[in-house]
Structure 1
């Protein structure tokens, strides 16, 4: 265990020497500006109808790698010349999505106008038949954010959090509720309104991102946050939700301490770490608010399997899906710029 502590200390010192804080996030947009942008979209549709033309919307394809580029200081960001996909209301293949975007624009307009908030789950349950699934609504909300060029936090739509956090951390929620994450046996759910958090108080020396909920709980049970040194641990319980990523970024911006990732030594664990570090393809339009490029891969490294003599019977062989994932990762620019990672393959 001692050499693991030394590993953390060495990485922390290295990061502190080279840490460069970049905070080029989009500023919160005023309510009036959000309302104006929605009105402009609707006005364009009304003008088309008045001319007897089928109205259309142009949305970005958020699943296309051709629309993003890798910027080392930020991560995956949108290109200046992103390709847009037209959605026409009279086209069978796009009419449904066109209608859903208008519905969500209407909901957001009312929320912003009344200065009230709703979760994506609330919106979905208000019209389950229309949206069909929570996933469909989630995708439409992100499309609207991208269409309006407005950070999702300015749309007054909140996401339900699935992550947990614990350690040397206290803060106030936007409504004034005090949150203390210092309990060694129970974790605190990540806030559903991370941007409203204020008065952050912590003497943490580092932040540890933990991939698996079971590993996170084991660290809590072992009183990790006080036995090692004051620190903060957070988990998105696998593939992280937006709030967990926002929380890591907010703590990094506020505390200016190293951030480490503890993930499985497999392609999916590496991808999860990369999402915290460099962002995701579908949310590249909000990369400045969601990424922490200084995240360091603490482990588990593939080379640790031999170093710590992990029994062969404890190792799960790669599946076909694992092979496909590792081949996909190899082609990503944020992997090829990491020579040490290349050696771990």
Structure 2
């Protein structure tokens, strides 16, 4: 019998729905069947939410990762912040909640980098909260890349119908075209290719690359970037033997009749890729950061301050993120074993 994977779940911003979806998510039977989850965050906050929303919950502090109890009624918490939990205002962004979220993330990242836990799942935090707390990162993706000293990485979204990789992430739209280069796009294409092969076992994946401009520039009538920046990246990847197609107008690439022909779509910027994904069903997709030295996933929703502390948060996205993290970690472990043999 295989040993259960230890998977860390950060509580996210405690003023949002993170603690609620975390305690609900780790209490699901199929999550416990897939892994042994440990929540990183404030013990007091997790205990409060567990008592409210999980029947017969027993919250235990984790002092060692050996011999964790993994029954559904036990919620394991690794205390990751000593900040005063009473200063958190539910539903309102402030410096304290931002710092607690950051400290929980740093603690979990240290554990996954030292291989004390096998993978990382992050509950939502806010960029503004990080900034208020003094952490100048635009989100989890950039924060974890810095902590792990990872140069090449990609934000991806995985759903039952669609896989999407983003070239640029948390960037104002006015800066996207200035930031794009053929090399940057090529790297994201190659990361997507590796992800499809290593994590999903697709031997010869097909990847569609979106154009930046409407109609992929319409032969430069609507912009030159697709011809001068996107197309060279596609051709470079093709010369390496990758099955890459584009630039394809984004409105065409994401239509069900077209997207079903590809294993992944590479989008040039955040909303170009995420809007069509989420319109197919919020909560169905999982955010995956590929390129880190560990698997990191998260739900595809935000902090939802407007419903925080009301018991209305749906934990399906968190459950999907934990299950995917366990599956991908196992898949990569198996791949490494095959290579050794």
TM-score band, normalised by the shorter chain?
under 0.3
The normalised TM-score by structure 1 is 0.24
Bigger fraction of residues in helix: 1
Q: Which has the higher contact order (CA 8 A, sep 6+)?
A: 2
The normalised TM-score by structure 2 is 0.24
- Larger radius of gyration between Structure 1 and Structure 2: 1
